[in-house]
Structure 1
Amino acid sequence: MKNIAILCSGGDVSGMNPALKHFVEYSIQKGLTPYFVYNGYEGLIDDDMKEASYSDVSGIINRGGTKIGSARSQRFREKKYRDIAKQNLDARGIDMLVAMGGDGSFKALDIFYKESGVRFCGIPATIDNDINGTDYSLGVDTALNIIKVSIDAIRDTASSFRRAFVIETMGRDCGYLALISHLTSGSELCLIPEVDYDLKKYEQEFKKQIKNGRRYFIAIVSEGIKQDSSEISEWFESVIGMESRVSILGHIQRGGNPSTYDRLMAYKLVNKAIDGLLDGNQMSVICYTKSGFEFKTIEEVTSKKKELDPELLSYLERF
């Protein structure tokens, strides 16, 4: 019987627990013994691993976050700690890993594979959806739905008080969350790192809209833009002439009950990852594109920054 382990690395996302549940179920179905690695690569180093069973994943499919914890490991950057991780895996006869995380996590495993021969498959899991080579990352759908609910709630108070609200989403240097939320919420302004902007070009139009009866504005901005959200809010007050507030959604975007779509994709991604390892894949990331599921190399997903869909960007530019 072969042994296989799963871990979470980097930021947690809703969808990890459904993935853990199916990992255990599908591994056993395929004749494998599943193991959990707790707290990411730190668990590999600290030997914080255990064989997983059905009871370990009972009742977790509706929970956000990850039951087995996650972490960003500085120690795993050092070879001496990677050697310890290899010894711990060998002691349990584990030679296959499934890792949920981002491109940094996959780079670390690429180095680990070349040193140790432990095969792995990466599952993109980040609400930022900023991993090159895949259109979808686990957790992004739930995050978008949380943002949607937040914007709809803020719109109620914005219209009641004749205010402009600047709503800041996560994303680091990727504006995906802000862009999709803008296109699906009917907001009046969207600012993302990928598109240069000049607030002056909005002044005349926004003042005209106020004169014609507009009671509020919703502006969605990504955390990676060149100005702070407070500066955008000040612009609404001092230039546009409307009282303004800032709402930074923050880590609320990473939690919550996983959406139906994230649960389904967790199921499919785990299936593909395990099947790929059993078919002999050595080191790959299972990606989802318009062509369907594809195994891609670490170099393909980490060699360059992800670019937003040109079609989606064209909608923003036309607006």
Structure 2
Amino acid sequence: MRKNIAILCSGGDVSGMNPALKHFVEYALKNSLNPFFVYDGYEGLIDDKIDKASYCDVAGIINKGGTKIGSSRSRRFMQKKYRAIAKQNLDHHNIEMLVVLGGDGSFRGMDIFYKEHGVKFCGIPSTIDNDIAGTSYCLGVDTSLNIIRTAIDAIRDTASSFGRAFVIETMGRECGYLALVSALTSGAELCLIPEVPYNLEQYEESFKNQIAAGRKYFLAIVSEGIKEDVREIAQWFEEKVGIEARVTILGHMQRGGNPTVYDRLMAYKFVSHAIDGLLNEQHDSVICYNDGGFTHKSIQDVAFQKYQLDSELLCHLQDLYNV
């Protein structure tokens, strides 16, 4: 008898989820499993928004951003009584295994669900913040970085034309990964992230000297988690450095866009390893990517640990920005 397996998306959406859904259906059927979609994340699990999936449901979605089956942040799933309802709904559909695209909060919720009700699951790290411990890469990050790159390149055109400083804010919560990588790969003159203490005064003399030597514009890439508002950074450029400044907050555009080739490929690999793990007695794990390979790690090693930025990236930050 064919076993049933479901997939859901939890938390913030990322480009790469739709390619993951497509391969989930294809790989499940290849392994003689019946694939199901859970719509709207854990909310859908509670409300029984669970339907069998087929090739028709995933045709033409590999190039689409976001997630066809929706996502949510569910407060109800934090309560035991609603988790019990979710289990009843899974039992009604005879679903024994669950693949979860999400972040550490989603994985902690599933860990509790597994311990209470024995629902086998595998988590796939999916967040543009790239802030999940235990994995060097999360689904959606490459697409987000390319969206940011396109925006910065466009802003550089107007910055150079008008001779201005632009302060560009990226997402990332308390993790500066997006800002750091974007600054390094765009040649920005300033990068500020939550992980590294900074004092704007240390840049004043250098920036003034650069203007005296002919510099016409500045690009400053800052993470949303820094201590100061981006408008304060722009004000500092105008009052202390002596150059007109503007602010660009990239916001949720960083989550959208056509998935890059890399994210489509990573979606394929993440899903394959997740399903293989579930079929080989990995019943409460997260599939992680490090040093070119995939491993299953326990929830304790992922969702309950603090993410640390790559030390080599931090060295590059120190070398380029003298922090």
TM exceeds 0.5?
yes
Aligned to 2:136: 135
1:305 positional shift: 1.4
Structure 1 CA distance, aligned partners of 2:33 and 2:137? 28
Aligned to 2:33: 32
Aligned to 2:234: 233
Q: Report SS of the residue matched to 1:10.
A: coil
1:282 positional shift: 1.2
**Paired amino acid for 2:186:** S
Structure 2 CA distance, aligned partners of 1:151 and 1:224? 19
1:318 positional shift: 1.3
Aligned to 2:49: 48
1:111-157 per-position Cα deviation (integer Å, ceiling 9, x unaligned): 00001111000000000000000000000000000000000000000
Give runs of aligned pairs for residues 210-289 of structure 1, distance below 5 A. Answer: 210-289=211-290
Relative to structure 2, which stretch is displaced further, 144-153 or 295-304? Answer: 295-304
Q: Report SS of the residue matched to 1:66.
A: coil
Aligned to 1:144: 145
1:292 positional shift: 1.1
Structure 2 CA distance, aligned partners of 1:113 and 1:303? 16
**Paired amino acid for 2:228:** Q
Q: What is the TM-score normalised by the length of structure 1?
A: 0.99
Consecutive unaligned residues in structure 2, runs of 5 or more? none
Structure 2 CA distance, aligned partners of 1:299 and 1:277? 18
Consecutive unaligned residues in structure 1, runs of 5 or more? none
Aligned to 1:179: 180
Counting aligned pairs with the same residue, the percent is: 70
1:172-207 per-position Cα deviation (integer Å, ceiling 9, x unaligned): 000000000011000000000000001011000000
Aligned to 2:120: 119
Give runs of aligned pairs for residues 303-314 of structure 1, distance below 5 A. Answer: 303-314=304-315
Structure 2 CA distance, aligned partners of 1:25 and 1:318? 46
Q: Report SS of the residue matched to 1:268.
A: helix
**Paired amino acid for 1:204:** E
1:303 positional shift: 2.0
1:291 positional shift: 5.3
Structure 2 CA distance, aligned partners of 1:100 and 1:288? 14
Runs of 4+ in 1 over 6 A off after TM superposition: none
CA RMSD of aligned residues (A): 0.5
1:304 positional shift: 2.1
Structure 2 CA distance, aligned partners of 1:303 and 1:103? 8
Q: Report SS of the residue matched to 2:91.
A: helix
Structure 1 CA distance, aligned partners of 2:199 and 2:118? 51
1:302 positional shift: 1.7
Structure 2 CA distance, aligned partners of 1:231 and 1:162? 19
Structure 2 CA distance, aligned partners of 1:202 and 1:14? 36
Q: Report SS of the residue matched to 1:218.
A: strand
Size of the aligned set, in residue pairs, is 319
